[in-house]
Amino acid sequence: MTDSPRGPTWRLLVTEPADGATNMAVDEAVWRGRQAGSSPPTVRFFAWQPPTVSLGYGQPLDRNVDVVACYRLGVGLVRRPTGGSAIYHDGPERELTYSVVASADDLGGAGDLLQTYHWIGRALLRGLTALGAPVEMVAVAVSDAPAPPFCFARTGSYELEIGGRKVVGSAQRRQGACFLQHGSVLLGVDGPRLRTVFPTTRDPLGTLTTLEAALGHRPKFDDVAATLAAAFEAEHGLTLRPDGLTPDETTTAARLVTEKYATAEWLAGPA
């Protein structure tokens, strides 16, 4: 990353692995802050401890995720504030998760969902290509079929594939001009565990791939984070300034953990 500002300044957050409730509460706190004008546009890279299944905002918690197996294996469960389908999130040795919080103005007027996906996807494409992965961006995807319960079972618009298999899965939620987008970048995969927690998905490994498979080695979390940060800067003329959460964001996140994301009511989902 450059040392001298050359464009709009965004915050870069790289946080320690955390449980699902904490990770989602942090992202919502930043999102709320951006809507209020008190938080800067932010790119965040993070991982999960323990490994966790995250459900999409409106996704039912049903037999498509084996809750008993999750508890037996020590896998957490959380519901995201963003949409989409369920993802098994591993620790930093196998996954990098990103979030982007911004407004349409922060993106130079990229106002709707697809434009935002494309804007973020271009940076991810640039970064993964720089790592040596032969990544391709899928064009606008049109399907009348219902969304599968497992995110990596189908590639959406402006998501990324290698050899026709999905390597990054993303989901978004918008309020007014501000949005929060999550995405999972697969460094590696625990195949047996994936099959166990998604029992109704016939072949969860059949539609996905990993950077490890593409590169012949598993890249380290920190290296991927640094490369993706540089790609956001280069692709969009940004300056990413490393920083932490503000005191207000920290307070809001702690409250959201106890009042929302760690509660059985939130996990159960919309009635």
Whether the pLDDT of residue 4 is over 60: the answer is no
- 3 pLDDT band, cuts 50/70/90, is very low
Question: What is the percentage of the chain residues whose pLDDT exceeds 70?
Answer: 97
pLDDT for res 17? 97
- Mean pLDDT, range 166-189, rounded to an integer: 95
Strands 160-162 and 165-175: antiparallel
Q: Which pLDDT tens digit goes with each residue over 236-266?
A: 999 999 999 999 999 999 999 999 999 999 9
Query: Which amino acid is located at 221 in the chain?
Result: F
144 band by pLDDT with thresholds 50, 70 and 90: low
Cα gap 72→68, rounded to integer Å? 6
DSSP at 45: E
| Average pLDDT of the segment spanning 113-128 | 95
Residue 24 has pLDDT above 60, yes or no: yes
| Residues acting as catalytic residues | 151
The sheet carrying 95-103 orders its strands as: 135-137, 160-162, 165-175, 178-186, 95-103, 42-46, 9-14, 239-242
State the pLDDT confidence band at 270, using cuts at 50, 70 and 90. confident
Q: What is the mean pLDDT of residues 149-176?
A: 94
pLDDT-based confidence at residue 141 (cuts at 50, 70, 90):
confident
At 140 the pLDDT is: 78
Which residue's structure tokens are 């620790």?
Answer: 91
- Domains in the chain (CATH in brackets) are 9-251 (3.30.930.10)
pLDDT-derived band at 163 (thresholds 50, 70, 90) equals: very high
Task: Locate 235 and state its tokens.
Answer: 């692709």
Rounded CA-CA distance 181/43 in Å is 10
pLDDT class of 2 with cuts at 50, 70, 90: very low
Tokens of 195: 């099959």
Can you give the pLDDT at residue 109? 79
pLDDT of residue 29: 98
Cis peptide before 148 (omega within 30 of 0): no
pLDDT tens, 53-88?
A: 999 999 999 999 999 999 999 999 999 999 999 999
Burial 92-116 (b: 16+ CB within 10 A, else e): bebbbbbbbbbbbebbeebeebeeb
* Mean pLDDT over the full length of the chain: 94
What would the mean pLDDT of 46-51 be, rounded to a whole number? Answer: 97
From CA 204, how far away is CA 226, in angstroms rounded?
29
pTM of the model: 0.94
Q: Which residue has the tokens 């870069």?
A: 12
Instruction: Give me the helices (H) in the chain, please.
Output: 20-36, 67-73, 113-130, 191-197, 211-215, 221-236, 247-256, 264-268
76 and 173 Cβ atoms separated by less than 8 Å: no
